[in-house]
Amino acid sequence: MKRSNIFWLFAVASAAFTVLVVASLAFLFWQQLPPTEKDLVARLAHDYIGYIFSAAVFLLAGLGFALDWLFRLYILPLDKLAEETRLIHSVNPSHRIHLEGSRDIVRLVNIINESADQYEYLNSQLNTEIERARADADEEKNILAAVMAELPEGVLICNKDGRILLYNKRARRYLVGEIGSIESSDVSPGRFIGLGRSVFGVIDKHLIVHALDEIARKLKSEDADIASYFVTMGADQRLLRVEAVPLLDHRRQFTGFVLIFRDITRQMESGSRLNVLLRSLGRGTRASLASIRAAIEAIIEYPNMDSGKLQKFKEIIHSETITIGRIIDDATSSHFINLRSYWPLTQMSGRDMLAATARKAEEILGIDILTEAADEDLWLKVDSYSIISALTFLQKQLIEVTGSHRLIYKMAREGRFACFDIIWEGKPVRPETLRKWEEQPVAVDRQALSSTLKEIIEQHAAEIWSHAYKDRQKAYLRLLFPVAESVENGRIRNLTILPKSRPEFFDFDLFSQPGQRPELDQHLLPELTYTVFDTETTGLDPQGGDEILSIGAVRIVNNRILREECFDQLVDPRRRIPEESIRIHGILPEMVTGQPPIEKALPSFLQFSEDTILVAHNAAFDMRMLQLKEELSGVRFSNPVLDTMLLSAVVQPGQKDHDMEGIAARLGISIVGRHTALGDALVTAEIFLKLIPLLKKQGIATLGQARSASRKTYYARLKY
């Protein structure tokens, strides 16, 4: 309970006790009087009742004024003194106390201000030393940042939950394009990359889970190459080849993973052009080669033919060779061939492919698999995710047709090819049935690929057919894969193990962050991820038709403002902007012309703020503006919300001024870009970070405690 409340409670109790004592004494005195004196006192009280009442009122009024004087000179200044002293030691050493009160209070204020001068000086000296040490550390960090930025590959590091800990600019460009602010007039929900965000927002979760499963298997079997490879689509239709590498702590426990991206779009385009070229060469030269072959066979078969016929055959051969040469010249001049281009396939041992396929089939289809071990030196070039998904899909179709739930896998080498047989008891699959399967998109266990079975088989330069054994008791599907002649050298990834003590130039505290879980109210405030936002509007009456003109937001991760990860979007209000509001925020009608309406802007902001706590100043107003657009936009913000105005009232209840300027002045925060949505969001973020230690000093450490304390403030009654 506050000191002022205790004082008034004590004053009321003291007054009541005094009245009770006086009344008791008067009653005892009355009982001791003889009857004649009682009559005299009664007549006097009756005759002078007005004077007696007035004297009592003046006495109580005097007592009240005396108590108020004591309260204002001694009690109220103590509450403010405690609040402002806490400001000096917690967030703003340059703050000084200015209070009116008793002589003792003023003397105490002067002593505290003198101590604050010394504290500020010592704090300044300490900060200078800290800044010097930080500059040395930052120099090493900047070297790392420069190296990361200039790497030819995109690099992204995640913890074991898939939360992003580090990324370089190339990874951001590959995955989401240029991001930071949204300036396009055609806004639609996109992909965001940022510290603390889930990597599954930019890469299909199934691909990463498959890669991590493969890594776990390789770690268990102690393979030399512990990396896993897959291909995914990035921004601007980029085709990315991804290499996933695990991170282990000093106890060799899995603690995260690294994703390395290479843009293979051009190589794939070159490969596609090469494929078209080879097909065109095949079609164009087939007839000419047939004519040449027929002519040569005729010459061989009839060596004694007359010279006239022989000359005609020679002319045919000469003409067709010229035709072939022209076709080759035309094809090579119209197609650029990059001889070093390659398909996005990686090497995988035959044994690993059999084991991975069997494991997925047993898990998803619930069938029994008997595997005959393949040769140790048998290697294939595959995209493991797509080919294993395709094989699982193929077996699913096979079960539906044959009814067999027991299959046998067999892989053997025949020359330059590997034969992967799926064997069952029963009749073979008809060729027309197999062709129907090939035309279907691959979909297994609610996971759908964009490719058909035929496209995946062709991508691997493989063939498939159905056949029966001689005894007709068993049948099999055979997939014929080209054999990788030798294991690629020079590309094996060494295992990355984090040291027990952290190097000075790294600071990946997010490795130990608990992440976002449903029980958010139990989390400490510094552990959470926040989206601090603000809106600029046509006016202050949401119910009266005022509209949002601009949304600005910035993220706080690991108790740090990420100024590069911001959201800044103008919105077309589709109504007139009043002159009085233009004078405040400076947003002119021509600035919002062509910008997206609110129903297109809000889905992007929802995705930007996903899995975070929303923070705003006077959040009731901004949230009301968003809530009124739920039906129109189909977007509902269910994030927990904190309000810096309410939190300021919690930590400084003795202050009357809780607007943004007043709070910033007390906390020593400079205001830049006031009355722009992004500028106000940045100031609000700084205010919020400085309020967290003040809340902790009052025993408010978790999100749930902060929300509960906010609801008890006077300002929480504001409604819009």
Quick check: is 502 in a domain? no
Closest C-alpha to 678, from 588, 596, 563, 558: 563
pLDDT at 466 over 60: yes
Active site residues: 675
* Claim to verify: residue 165 and residue 306 sit in the same structural domain: no
* Claim to verify: residue 478 and residue 353 sit in the same structural domain: yes
Note down the domain range covering 431: 346-482
Crossing angle of helices 76-90/103-150, nearest 10°?
30
Contact 332, 378 (CB under 8 A): no
**pLDDT tens by residue, 277-303:** 566 666 666 667 777 877 787 778 777
* Last residue within a domain, chosen from 240, 264, 288: 264
Crossing angle of helices 350-365/205-221, nearest 10°?
130
Quick check: is 669 in a domain? yes
* Claim to verify: residue 368 and residue 316 sit in the same structural domain: no
Quick check: is 323 in a domain? yes
At 257, is the pLDDT very low, low, confident or very high (cuts 50, 70, 90)? very high
* Claim to verify: residue 465 and residue 543 sit in the same structural domain: no
> Could you write out the DSSP letters of every residue in 389-401?
HHHHHHHHHHHHH
Quick check: is 679 in a domain? yes
pTM beyond 0.75: the answer is no
* Claim to verify: residue 459 and residue 546 sit in the same structural domain: no
* Claim to verify: residue 317 and residue 370 sit in the same structural domain: no
pLDDT at 509 over 60: no
The C-alpha atoms of residue 22 and residue 28 are separated, in whole angstroms, by 10
> CATH number for the domain including 251?
3.30.450.20
* Claim to verify: residue 183 and residue 280 sit in the same structural domain: no
Read off the pLDDT of each residue in 319-341 and give the average, rounded to a whole number.
59
**Percent helix, strand, coil in the chain (nearest 5)?**
50, 20, 30
Quick check: is 553 in a domain? yes
Read off the pLDDT of each residue in 94-117 and give the average, rounded to a whole number.
79
* Last residue within a domain, chosen from 247, 264, 281: 264
Quick check: is 20 in a domain? no
* Claim to verify: residue 211 and residue 303 sit in the same structural domain: no
* Claim to verify: residue 557 and residue 663 sit in the same structural domain: yes
* Last residue within a domain, chosen from 264, 285, 308: 264
* Claim to verify: residue 468 and residue 560 sit in the same structural domain: no
In the three-class reduction of DSSP (H, G, I as helix; E, B as strand; rest coil), residue 245 is classed as strand
Quick check: is 19 in a domain? no
pLDDT at 179 over 90: no
At 276, is the pLDDT very low, low, confident or very high (cuts 50, 70, 90)? low
Q: What is the pLDDT of residue 513?
A: 42
The C-alpha atoms of residue 46 and residue 598 are separated, in whole angstroms, by 77
Residues in the chain: 720
Read off the pLDDT of each residue in 453-462 and give the average, rounded to a whole number.
87
> CATH number for the domain including 570?
3.30.420.10
* Claim to verify: residue 260 and residue 271 sit in the same structural domain: no
* Claim to verify: residue 245 and residue 279 sit in the same structural domain: no
What token pair was written down for 45? 């009280």
Number of domains in the chain: 4
Q: What does the mean pLDDT of the chain come to?
A: 80
Q: What is the pLDDT of residue 305?
A: 81
